[in-house]
Structure 1
Amino acid sequence: MPGIVKHAAIIAWLLGVSFVVNGTPAFAEQPAIEEILSVLGMNKAQINELAQRQPIVYDLSEGRSDEIAAGIAWYLPVPLAKVAGQLRTDDPNLLDVDVTAHGILMTHGKADALSPVVLPSEEIEALLDAEPGGQFNLSSDEIENFRTLKRIVNDTPDEAIRDAIGQRYRAMLFDRFEAYRRDGTYAIAPYARDNNQSVKPSVELDQAANASVILARYAPALHKAWINYPATLPPRTNEVFQWVEKNVQNRPAFILRHHVNHDWNGGELVLTREFYASHSYNASQWVTGCLAYRDGTVVFQQVRSYADQLSGVATDVRHLIGRKLLKNKMLKSFERLCGVLRHCH
């Protein structure tokens, strides 16, 4: 049981619930908020409780044994414009409190944009001996590249080895970003696992995109572009690519994100796709929305994340613990949001 709890804790802890919303002060010809919340998966009792300014965290259906999913919604007695003004940022630190470093990725910047990514000596040593398995999320080619580099730098000073591995690692991250930017989820290299097995984040993220009922019903053009990225995004949509670093189980975890903001008839839809994570989980997707409601604002988010540790023995227990930890994480993020706004209680 301790091992199950640890795996579930890593998964839930890494699900950095990040709320980045560009809002506008009105929502033209919107469906009833209650209808939208129902489509999100909330029942009538939860919707009624939400109107009492209580955060509602609920389960989502999961389509795979390696998936964990949950949703959250809350009513804030704050005007939409003010909420959106606080949340209108590309800085993942605002509510993703586990982030220790971050930056923006652009194709013309090359791997220099990742210069702050510095691996500690123990991670470098582990990379030099990397093998298929769960310690790192690496493709077979990436593992072979590090093995080749080890042979080349074997007789060089330690500092030169660290520099060479660091440069190769940053180049690997940038190569994954470029591949995704050019060809979407199709181009995400699988992670090599034991016994000649592999994990395909591309399949997991495609499943997450197709599972988004809210996008399919209320933003079909955005949904189609999201599934078929790099298809052209619809009008009034902006995108940014980010890298973030988190300290997870005393190890640095580097994550590549695709972040899309879409003007949703006066509200806002924000899509975040984590198309690479260096260890502990495979990939994740967040769908966040912000709408005017009564005298304030409703914000909701759905998270779907995928990890090998969720499958196998005691999978039901792993899922149960993981969902509970994820919901606690979401509630803490809500309290942080209220603290930023200073008008939630």
Structure 2
Amino acid sequence: MPIIPIKTPVVAVMLLASFLAAAQDAPSPQQALQSFGIGAEQIVQLQRGEIVGYDVSETSQKELAIGVAMLLPVPLAQIADYIKKGHMNAIESDIVASATLGPNPSSDSFKKFAYTDKQLDEAKAFLAAEAGDEFNLSNAELASLKSLQAELEDADDKTLLKTANQKYREFLLQRLSAYKKNGLNGIAPYARDGGSADPAAELRTDAVNSKAWARYFPELQQAWLNYPAALPGNASEQFIWLNRRVEDRPTPILNHRVIAVGEAGGIVISRQFYVGHSYNSSQVVAGGLPYQDGTLVFYSIRSSTDQVAGIGSSLKHSIGREQMKKEMVKRLQRLNKDLKRKPATVAAE
């Protein structure tokens, strides 16, 4: 069975640690713990500095979902400062490159996404892509690649690499523009052999079923569902692109993140609305609350992948959740270690 490649930016975890109290009916730490089914025994584990898991409902055979919580022994102000200084990527070892996208992106905005000479076979496979799960491409994108094949028939390796990189950047810009203009309705399905995968439908279902946070932030949930509808006044957004190593392959990802910030708590919702291969889409909801002498952090992921559907789905889900939880725990542990170091040490890196 292949490894389930669930990759989600941990930056969402801590940016949250700044807003929950801004909501009129924000939960107390005790209410939040109860909402996520975290009982007395797990609270003791949290107080010992352990990371505990909690259940997140899955909405289809393709979805993997799980949550983790941790009590970080640092104040909100330190977490916010850490994020503002841009240290978050240091704890995500699988990121090859990333950048925040400005208001007027171009294909050059993705220039750091590039197949290298060592990835020539990957570039050639992309240029010759067909409907299937090797690449997440729409029918229109596949047709665009097919139109290039005749002129590339005698092309040298340098030309093939250049063409593959330029074409993929064009696709990324087109997908970003379509999403910013039409939200979930602008996400083109991925062509599959005999069918399609629909990340828009997956992300819409995830937004509807994220009831724990939506109870406290109904306006934010509606804006998230109906984007590009206006966000609440206390929320801001970011568009980020990533190049990650997933299953030992370069993977372009487009991510939309909404951050609502206040003085005593926070929430971040984040969706990967385009992923180059291996999985279809992903949504993160993370929150933080002052708790005792530190910050209580909740971090959940819903991720959709064709790899866990079909025969043996139950076993695949069990293995996939465990893999996803291990990755989430590792990242929180690295974050915790980093935050507890002296600020001067972190700033010097």
TM-score normalised by L of structure 2? 0.90
1:342 Cα deviation (Å)? 1.8
How many aligned residue pairs are there? 336
The answer (yes or no) to whether the contact 2:4–2:307 under 8 Å persists in 1 is no
Residue 35 of structure 2 corresponds to 39
Residue 4 of structure 2 corresponds to 10
The answer (yes or no) to whether the contact 2:4–2:323 under 8 Å persists in 1 is no
C-alpha distance in structure 2 between counterparts of 1:278 and 1:20, whole Å: 26
1:60 partnered with 2:59: no
Residues 1-345 of structure 1 aligned to structure 2 (within 5 Å) = 3=1, 6=2, 9-12=3-6, 14-18=7-11, 19-21=13-15, 23-24=17-18, 27=21, 30-88=26-84, 93-119=89-115, 120-195=119-194, 197-263=195-261, 266-342=264-340
1:142 Cα deviation (Å)? 0.6
The answer (yes or no) to whether the contact 2:17–2:287 under 8 Å persists in 1 is no
- Give the 3 Å change call, closer, same or farther, for CA 341–92 of structure 1 in structure 2: closer
C-alpha distance in structure 2 between counterparts of 1:11 and 1:188, whole Å: 21
1:184 Cα deviation (Å)? 0.6
C-alpha distance in structure 2 between counterparts of 1:156 and 1:98, whole Å: 32
- Give the 3 Å change call, closer, same or farther, for CA 287–141 of structure 1 in structure 2: same
The answer (yes or no) to whether the contact 2:5–2:278 under 8 Å persists in 1 is yes
The answer (yes or no) to whether the contact 1:246–1:252 under 8 Å persists in 2 is yes
The answer (yes or no) to whether the contact 1:17–1:96 under 8 Å persists in 2 is yes
Structure 2 letter corresponding to 1:302: S
1:80 Cα deviation (Å)? 1.7
- Give the 3 Å change call, closer, same or farther, for CA 11–41 of structure 1 in structure 2: farther
Structure 1 letter corresponding to 2:162: D
The answer (yes or no) to whether the contact 1:240–1:260 under 8 Å persists in 2 is yes
The answer (yes or no) to whether the contact 2:36–2:54 under 8 Å persists in 1 is no
1:41 Cα deviation (Å)? 3.9
Give secondary structure in 1 for the equivalent of 2:151: helix
1:328 Cα deviation (Å)? 1.0
The answer (yes or no) to whether the contact 2:189–2:196 under 8 Å persists in 1 is yes
Moved more, 242-251 or 152-161: 152-161
Give secondary structure in 1 for the equivalent of 2:15: coil
TM-score normalised by L of structure 1? 0.91
The answer (yes or no) to whether the contact 1:182–1:230 under 8 Å persists in 2 is yes
Moved more, 161-170 or 86-95: 86-95
Where structure 2 has 5 or more consecutive residues not aligned to the other structure, the ranges are 343-349
Structure 1 letter corresponding to 2:213: L
C-alpha distance in structure 2 between counterparts of 1:22 and 1:306, whole Å: 23
Give secondary structure in 2 for the equivalent of 1:149: coil
Q: Deviations over 1:158-185 (max 9, x none)?
A: 3223222211110001100111111111
The answer (yes or no) to whether the contact 1:215–1:222 under 8 Å persists in 2 is no
C-alpha distance in structure 1 between counterparts of 2:19 and 2:66, whole Å: 28
The answer (yes or no) to whether the contact 2:254–2:273 under 8 Å persists in 1 is yes
Give secondary structure in 1 for the equivalent of 2:96: strand
C-alpha distance in structure 2 between counterparts of 1:43 and 1:210, whole Å: 26
Q: Deviations over 1:108-152 (max 9, x none)?
A: 231110011112311221022211111000011111110101123
C-alpha distance in structure 2 between counterparts of 1:56 and 1:318, whole Å: 22
1:99 Cα deviation (Å)? 0.8
Where structure 1 has 5 or more consecutive residues not aligned to the other structure, the ranges are none
- Give the 3 Å change call, closer, same or farther, for CA 74–22 of structure 1 in structure 2: closer
Q: Deviations over 1:301-334 (max 9, x none)?
A: 1100000011011001100001111111111112
Overall identity of the aligned pairs, in %: 36
The answer (yes or no) to whether the contact 1:16–1:98 under 8 Å persists in 2 is no
1:40 Cα deviation (Å)? 2.9
